[in-house]
Amino acid sequence: MRGEVLKSCFCLIIIVLCLGSLLTSLIWYKNNVDPHRPPPQKNKASQPFGPCKGCTEVIDNAVQRYSQTWKKQEDNYQNFRSKLSNECFGLEEAIITQTSKRVGSKIVFNGVRKTLQVTPQLSSIFAKKNPFSNKTWDTCAVVGNGGILTNSSCGNVIDSAQFVIRCNLPPVDNGYGKHVGVKTDLVTANPSIFTQNYEALTGRRRPFVKRLHTYGNSLLLLPAFSYTSDTDVSLRAFYTIEESDSPIRPVFLNPEYFQSLLLFWRSQGLYKGQLSTGITMVSLALELCKDVHLYGFWPFSTHPFSFHNLTNHYFDNKQPKFIVHAMPTEFELLLQLHSQGVLRLHLGDCQPGGT
Ligand SMILES: *[C@@H]1O[C@H](CO)[C@@H](O)[C@H](O)[C@H]1NC(C)=O
Ligand SMILES: *[C@@H]1O[C@H](CO)[C@@H](O)[C@H](O)[C@H]1NC(C)=O
Ligand SMILES: *[C@@H]1O[C@H](CO)[C@@H](O)[C@H](O)[C@H]1NC(C)=O
């Protein structure tokens, strides 16, 4: 069944969502499955999860580059940012609004060759105002979900950012807050998360609503228009929020923005794979914020400094069933931006209570 296949594909994207995902060596070599052409690569169940074999040199090299003194390079930042905004227009285009997609216009899915005409009903759930137009923040933290955040004590530092972006409804309560923070200004939710963790929102929706409460009045970014099978479940999320007392503010990711980001990163050297939510959010942050800090972005299964084994996410060790993102390549590009002083990666633990 084609729908099933598409769903499975989307699962991939969810699972591997944030760059923080641990990569096994399998991923390292086979990172380029095109989700348009299933079936994607299956991770062998027999593959033991552990340190990335053959990645030692790559990790050493990354640590060495990371360990150079970091300094913001204003020129590099401005150049990169203007290239990004001139090609992708994130501040204006990232979120669908009632004026950017008027009734009668077409939404072009980015994962399949399909379009959807905007009906009055659909239009009514789009944002009336663009939350980002003319907005910039001084400091933003983009929090990936990587196991590197486990016991990192980075919560306070993350929470000290003006604008905090998280990926795929990650837990911030139950003791995680100390290490990942609790402040959330934007959180993404891929359709696969609904399918995997919340029964596609066709059964009890209380667990979903409870999770939303941990993000206060954050924006909830729904990528509802990559594949046609994403739309209904994302609309159910929207309706659930509407019927609940959640102050969260659902908005829809514009698939055309996502597509232009893909082209942008292709031009930067990311030749394979679909964009992860992590790099998508970093891109948005680079337009929104003067100082962009990344936490939880480390795609290897070994800690860069203590060398202990890391779990795939800071909250679980679920392995991706399929590999759709080129995490090490994405990480390499982010590390380059770090070295150029465009943004700042954080790989080490933080001082508890400090900055
Ligand atoms: C780390 O993972 C490897 C491979 O699975 C395993 O052999 C090793 O014992 C693990 N180390 C620790 C300290 O758990
Ligand atoms: C953005 O700011 C500029 C200059 O302050 C102003 O002219 C413009 O109308 C603003 N746009 C929006 C959408 O608020
Ligand atoms: C994190 O800290 C807790 C409490 O100190 C400890 O039990 C746990 O083993 C630590 N986890 C890792 C991966 O170091």
Q: Whose CA is nearest to atom 5 of ligand 2?
A: 134
Q: Answer yes or no: are the C-beta atoms of 127 and 251 closer than 8 Å.
A: yes
CA–centroid distance, residue 136 to ligand 2 (Å): 12
Alpha carbon distance 331, 309 (integer Å): 19
Check residues 135 and 352 and name the one with the higher pLDDT: 135
Say which ligand is closest to the CA of 92.
2
CA neighbor of 146 nearest in space, from 57, 277, 289: 277
Window from 8-22, 144-158, 182-196, 322-336 with minimum mean pLDDT: 8-22
Q: Whose CA is nearest to atom 4 of ligand 1?
A: 50
Alpha carbon distance 307, 305 (integer Å): 6
Helices (H), 16-55: 25-29
Q: What is the pLDDT of residue 45?
A: 34
The answer to whether 313 is a known catalytic residue is no
Helices (H), 184-276: 191-197, 206-213, 228-243, 255-267
The structure tokens listed for 217 are 């009045």
Ligand 1 lining (C-beta closer than 6 Å): 48-51, 308-309
Q: For residue 324, is pLDDT > 70?
A: no
Specify the residue for token string 């893909």: 262
Residue 321's φ and ψ, nearest 5 degrees, are: -75, -35
The pTM is what? 0.84
CA–centroid distance, residue 304 to ligand 1 (Å): 15
Q: Whose CA is nearest to atom 9 of ligand 3?
A: 151
Alpha carbon distance 21, 314 (integer Å): 9
Q: Answer yes or no: are the C-beta atoms of 286 and 147 closer than 8 Å.
A: no
Tell me the average pLDDT of the chain.
86
Choosing from 179, 293, 325, 338, the catalytic residue is 325
Q: Summarize pLDDT for 224-270 with one digit per residue, the tens.
A: 999 999 999 999 999 999 999 899 999 999 999 999 999 999 999 99
Q: What is the pLDDT of residue 234?
A: 98
